[in-house]
Structure 1
Amino acid sequence: MFKKVFRILVVIFLFTFIASNIISEYFIDLQGISIEGVYACKGKRLGKITLDRYYPPSEIWKKARSLGYSGLLHTGFGEPDDQGNGLYVDAQIKDRGYRLFLERTRDSEWKKIVVYSHRISNSCLVPHSVLKKDITGILDALGIDTNELQGLKFTHDYDLPWFTLSLL
């Protein structure tokens, strides 16, 4: 009887220990603060959001250059006018590097703009509220109305031994 109870307790202990280590290394995210494990978080990315209004990429690019942001305006990809297909803007805030993409969607009028980002450098231990504030500040500086901006969601990238895991 004692051996049976002892085995059950050992199995429960081992299961709890292994499960808690796996969860803490890969999946725990408290208020956007990732707990680093053996395979550390590689960064966060802003998911795609659609802006409520149309902003010509060429005008956003002029504003970005006047503010000292680097980046590139993309043209010649089939857009019906000379306003550009999209652009990316590189911004540095504190020790975090942002690369925001603003692209026109290829709908019938080319009048929708989608915003998303590459991996934000040094963002693993930064709360979502700080990243949202930074990105909102960048978009405000570019002349984009952020009062009605909803749904800023971030994806976390973890490099595991066989693949990259992305979690919302």
Structure 2
Amino acid sequence: MPSANNKADLIAVTIKEFAKLQALLAQLPPEFALVKEDDVSIKDVVAHRAHWIDLFLGWHADGQAGRHVHIPAIGCKWNQLADYDAALCGRQMDMGWDAAWGALRKAHAALGDFSDDTSDLALYGVPMKGAGRKWSTGRFAEAAGASHYRSASKYIRARLRTSG
């Protein structure tokens, strides 16, 4: 699927992919969301997605404030991402299903507000400030939102298929 390249498309794809994810999650009994397979639960995936939206919003805020932007996170390089995600899962271990789903809804709303409040030029006209990459702010927003929603939906559909 091609990436959005303007504000309207970013908002549309974010809403579309979140709606698909929401529809899948509505089918799940809460206890199923907590069942681990290969040491990962649907709750873990949902909480992870919420965290990455928060990371993106932090990256953007840091760049706008002229602070160093730590991508993917402070003290973490991309080749250390598996360890970072494992540690994140450990920090979120005691988070319940309602809290994880609530965190994702809250993060999605914050991402929506960000997209609504940011101009097309600021989203797609230049690379994201402080990121040190060619990606635009809108591309980062899509990666944190719609792309992550899409991969979470794919994971949940696979789990539903294997559960019978």
Structure with the larger strand share? 1
**Highest CA radius of gyration, 1 or 2?**
1
Task: State the structure with bigger RCO (CA 8 A, min sep 6), 1 or 2.
Answer: 2
TM-score normalised by length of structure 1: 0.25
| TM-score when normalising by structure 2 | 0.25
